[in-house]
Structure 1
Amino acid sequence: MDSGAGPSLFPLHRCKTIHLVRHGQGIHNVDGEKSYKSYMNPEYFDAQLTPLGWQQVDNLRKHVRSSGLYKKIDLVITSPLLRTMQTAVGVFGGEGYTDRFDVVPLMVANAADSGRAAISSLDCPPLIALELCREHLGVHPCDKRRSISDYQFLFPAIDFSLIESDEDILWKANVRETKEEVAARD
């Protein structure tokens, strides 16, 4: 678009701003940075955040809150992978969850052995998981998701209704998505 001083076709008050957030460091990233072959390790199936990854989440949460950006967020869309949902709820979730019958947690306490307290769904934007919101599909176990029914237990207040299959039918053990296929999926 032309960035001249003339009037815009879309006044800013009618526009939405999209912020893209990459997940915090996952357990697969540590070895993967040393050797790409490490991404083939089955122990990294649906990799979770490392302690450093959680620290990155906490730092981003502080920034989002202190900058006032938190008040401007209407919706959070996340991939249905453990590390991305941990990042999303950690950054955008509500404060201090207390067990109440009328409030569902965004994330239960110690979800996937994270050692983290439950995260509240109060006073936070809605979170929706989208199946195609993934970096790559296939071959690497870290890129295969768990069943949605498992996730619904760990992340009760995330909306999974747009995901059609309980199991990960997009991930293939012997075929890695090409960059062209990723671009076509976006």
Structure 2
Amino acid sequence: MRTMQTAVGVFGGDNCTDGASTSPLLMVQGAGHSGRQAISSLDCPPFLAVEACREGVHPCDKRSSITKYRTLFPAIDFSLIENDEDVLWEPDVRETNESVALRGMKFFDWLWTREEKEIAIVSHSGFLYHTLNMYGKECHPTIAEELGKHFANCELRSMVLVDRSNLGSDASKYNFAGKIPTGLDMPSDVADEKQAEEASKN
């Protein structure tokens, strides 16, 4: 509930004050006793709920049914969650940090299958902390240290994930795409002049 409220508050559309939105609502008014106005999905990115990136499965972290969430967040896609009720939760069991991290790594494996290039992940600090600490074990120590920092409340971090097995495998022109850029290693205007000179010689 908390992460969905945060996600639609940050990435959702305008508040719906007149109740006459032509798009499905991302969040109905007062969802989860929030006191918030309804939020429209007009001109918003798609929202997809993923069970794997929830908080650690602790006695206080039992989720509500997906049926209930669908009524509160009509425009969020819950199709990837197989069970209506929370089958991960047990009343007297606290999920270990290692289990949270392993679940997080499975989430990262799923993330690699997505076609989108920019994805916002809205989750809990504990899940992100343990997942990124495990993810950082194979990184340079300075990167691992940066990844291993605790998240502040509502903190936003930007990361670029690179699949090393694909480095240089296509003709991407952008550094941020995780590929080796083509062309000369110099400012683009200078590179364009150099390439034009080379073309005129040939």
TM-score w.r.t. the length of structure 2 is 0.49
Match for residue 29 of structure 1?
A: none
Q: How far, CA to CA, are the matches of 2:32 and 2:100 in structure 1?
A: 28
Q: How far, CA to CA, are the matches of 1:134 and 1:122 in structure 2?
A: 26
Following TM superposition, by how much is the alpha carbon of 1:100 offset from its aligned partner in structure 2, in angstroms?
A: 3.9
Deviations 1:81-116 (A, max 9, x none): x11100000000001325347411000011122111
Match for residue 95 of structure 1?
A: 14
Match for residue 112 of structure 1?
A: 32
User: Does the 8 A contact of 2:21 with 2:40 survive in 1?
Assistant: no
TM-score w.r.t. the length of structure 1 is 0.53
- Look up the SS of the partner of 2:2 in the other structure: helix
Structure 1 unaligned spans of 5+: 1-81
Deviations 1:102-153 (A, max 9, x none): 41100001112211110000011111110011130132x2x11000000000
User: Quick check: 1:158 aligned with 2:76?
Assistant: yes
Instruction: State the percentage of identical aligned residues.
Output: 61
Match for residue 110 of structure 2?
A: none
Matches within 5 A, 1:15-54: none
Q: Which amino acid in structure 1 is aligned with residue 79 of structure 2? A: S
Bigger radius of gyration among the two: 2
Structure 2 unaligned spans of 5+: 105-202
User: Quick check: 1:136 aligned with 2:56?
Assistant: yes
Following TM superposition, by how much is the alpha carbon of 1:183 offset from its aligned partner in structure 2, in angstroms?
A: 1.4
Q: Which amino acid in structure 1 is aligned with residue 92 of structure 2? A: N
Q: Which amino acid in structure 1 is aligned with residue 45 of structure 2? A: P
Q: Which amino acid in structure 1 is aligned with residue 56 of structure 2? A: H
Equivalent residues, number? 103
- Look up the SS of the partner of 2:27 in the other structure: coil
Alpha-carbon RMSD = 1.4
User: Quick check: 1:169 aligned with 2:55?
Assistant: no
Q: Which amino acid in structure 1 is aligned with residue 7 of structure 2? A: A
Q: How far, CA to CA, are the matches of 1:183 and 1:128 in structure 2?
A: 21
Q: How far, CA to CA, are the matches of 2:23 and 2:32 in structure 1?
A: 21
Runs of 4+ in 1 over 2 A off after TM superposition: 96-102
